[in-house]
Chains A and B, each alone.
Chain A
Amino acid sequence: MKKIAISFSFLLFSAAAVTAADDPIAVRQALMQANAASAGAASAMLKGEMDYNPVVAKAAIATFHSTAEAMGDFFPEGSNVGETRAAPAIWENPDAFRETLAKFRTDAAAAVEASGRDGPADLEAFRLAVMPVLSNCSACHENFRLEDD
């Protein structure tokens, strides 16, 4: 379990490392990968594929919280060009994008609050805390990510 928690910190660390490269596309993609890894850990527990562990739960929530706080800084004007699926709507409709990001931040902060010092007490507490956060993935990808696979 400790391993998983450590790998979370690595994900965040790697996100920070790319910042230095001054490439907003790479940074936001690293942040998204951190989100995906956290969603994976969260889902494994919610589905019962992995025993519930409050330390892992807390790490997942903390990751969402930090990516939510950081994400908005990595969509500057002009970063719509390149290897990215960021939708033009981000820059055409910045207020809606900001609003969507703000909801992600609010939900993640509430989850941090709910998880307390030791992480959510049990699986049900974790579910209640993390489900609203997870709903932000599709809410944002509905309008602000291009569907190319």
Chain B
Amino acid sequence: MRRALLWLATAVAAAGVVLWWATGPQPLEEDDLSGLQPGDAARSERIFVAGGCASCHARPDADGEAALELAGGRALKTAFGTFVAPNISPHPEDGIGDWSELDFANAMLRGISPEGEHYYPAFPYTSYARMEPQDVADLFAYLRTLPPVEGRPEGHSLSFPFTLRRGIGLWKLLYLDPEPVVALGEDALPEVLRGRYLVEGPGHCGECHTPRDWLGGPDLDRWLAGGPAPEGNGTVPNITPSSEGIGSWSEGDIAYFLESGFTPDFDSVGGAMVAVQKNMAHLPAEDREAIAAYLKVVEEVE
């Protein structure tokens, strides 16, 4: 009996060690960024806009110049608790002013803080992980040109067991995958590829438009098929080209919606999509057309 208990204890301990090891952060190394050009801030404004960084990291309701002060503070109320967007202005103590490019790449592509902790996926690194490292480097250069802002918003307020950050390591094993969601053949048009990149990567459209399973991971079988709003106020629409989705919209309709905020029936954009659409309106027309082209080739889901 005693021997059996000993075995059991050893097995549990071994499993614990394996689990601890498997859930640890797996950061990028300096080498992973070699070969990149120095970050280009001018080029990156487009990625900053497409990524909607300011929609969460600017102060709530900030507009115009104030939307470039990334003081944080917007609260995201979810089933797991309330997440609060942090200060990502280049302030050395309260923001990301003392980060290296590698720190930033680890945050964006691996969801890991400079201290080596997992970030909660409310920060949509599951999408950003699909970004080109060069775009991440450019974005970092751009963020450093923005005004530093003092002060930190209050932290997340989550309930147990979501307070255990280590558990996110397990979650990442299940859901963090830098591969594209939609496989496209060799003959895919450049426009569609660009659209896939914008939608699946920086644009992080799937974070709201794809339903989540009980662990909060994206249900990729229902990619972009809509579902309950993450903040619990209503429904996020299906944007696949099905009859339940936007199958009746032409590519021109989709691009026009992103530009103007009007659907083909001249209903207007609303809710959380308003901020997104405003960003999309600032992109070059070719980016909106690329997004439209991609949305016509994703799998139809009813």
Q: Taking the nearest CB of chain B, how far is it from the CB of A135, in angstroms?
A: 8
In the bound assembly, the distance between CA atoms of A134 and B261 in angstroms comes to 9
**A147, B275: Cα distance in complex, Å:** 14
Most buried by B among A40, A47, A138, A139: A138
Question: Smallest distance from the beta carbon of B37 to chain A beta carbons, Å?
Answer: 38
B267 close to A36 (CB less than 8 A): yes
Name the residue on A nearest B264 (C-beta).
A40
Give Cα A39–Cα B226 distance, bound, in whole angstroms.
26
B88 to chain A, nearest CB (A): 23
User: Could you tell me the dominant secondary structure of chain A's interface residues?
Assistant: helix
Residues 113 to 149 of chain A near chain B (Cβ within 8 Å): 134, 137-139, 141-142, 145-149
Q: Are B236 and A138 within 8 A (Cβ)?
A: no
Bound: A149/B268 CA distance, A: 12
CB within 8 A of B233: which of A43, A141, A146? Answer: A146
A134: which B residues are within 8 A, CB to CB?
260, 262
Closest to A141 in B: B270
A146 cross-chain contacts in B, Cβ below 8 A: 233-234, 271
CA distance A36 to B262 in the complex (A): 9
**Which residues from 249 to 280 on chain B have a C-beta closer than 8 Å to any C-beta of chain A?**
256, 260-262, 265-275, 277-278
- Residues of B contacting A138 with CB < 8 Å? 261, 268-270, 274, 277-278
What 1/0 flags go to B12-55 for Cβ under 8 Å of A? 00000000000000000000000000000000000000000000
* Set B234, B236, B237, B271: member contacting A142, Cβ < 8 A: B271
Q: Return B5 CB to nearest CB of chain A, in Å.
A: 56
A142 B262 Cβ-Cβ under 8 A: no
| Centre residue among B226, B236, B237, B266 by max chain A CB count within 10 A | B266
Q: Mark B157-196, 1 if CB is under 8 A from A, else 0.
A: 0000000000000000000000000000000000000000
Residue of A nearest to B259 (CB): A47
Instruction: List the B residue with the shortest CB-CB distance to A40.
Output: B266
Is B100 at the interface (CB under 8 A from chain A)? no
Task: Tell me whether B274 and A147 are in contact (CB under 8 A).
Answer: no
* Chain B proximity of A11: nearest CB distance (Å): 13
Q: How many residues of A contact B (CB 8 A)?
A: 19
Residue of B nearest to A89 (CB): B233
Collect the chain A residues with CB atoms within 8 Å of residue B236's CB: 147
Once the chains bind, are B269 and A148 in contact (CB under 8 Å)? no
What number of residue pairs across chains A and B have CB atoms under 8 A from each other? 59
Given contacts A138-B277, A147-B233, A147-B234, contact A39 B271 (CB under 8 A): no
Q: Is A26 an interface residue (CB 8 A)?
A: no
Give A36-47 as 1s and 0s: 1 = Cβ < 8 Å from B's Cβ atoms.
Answer: 110110010001
B271, A145: Cβ atoms closer than 8 Å? yes
User: CA of A137 to CA of B234 in the docked complex: distance in angstroms?
Assistant: 19
A43 touches B268 (CB 8 A): no
The answer to whether B229 has its CB under 8 Å from any CB of chain A is yes
Once the chains are docked, how many angstroms separate the CA of A40 from the CA of B234? Answer: 26
27 A-B residue pairs with CB within 8 Å:
A36-B267, A39-B262, A40-B266, A43-B256, A43-B260, A43-B262, A43-B266, A137-B262, A137-B269, A138-B261, A138-B268, A138-B269, A139-B274, A141-B268, A142-B270, A142-B275, A145-B271, A146-B233, A146-B234, A147-B229, A147-B233, A147-B234, A147-B237, A147-B270, A147-B271, A147-B272, A147-B273
**Interface residues of B, Cβ cutoff 8 Å to A:** 226, 229, 233-237, 256, 260-262, 265-275, 277-278
The list of the 7 closest CB pairs from A to B, nearest first, reads: A141-B270, A137-B268, A147-B234, A142-B274, A147-B271, A40-B266, A36-B266
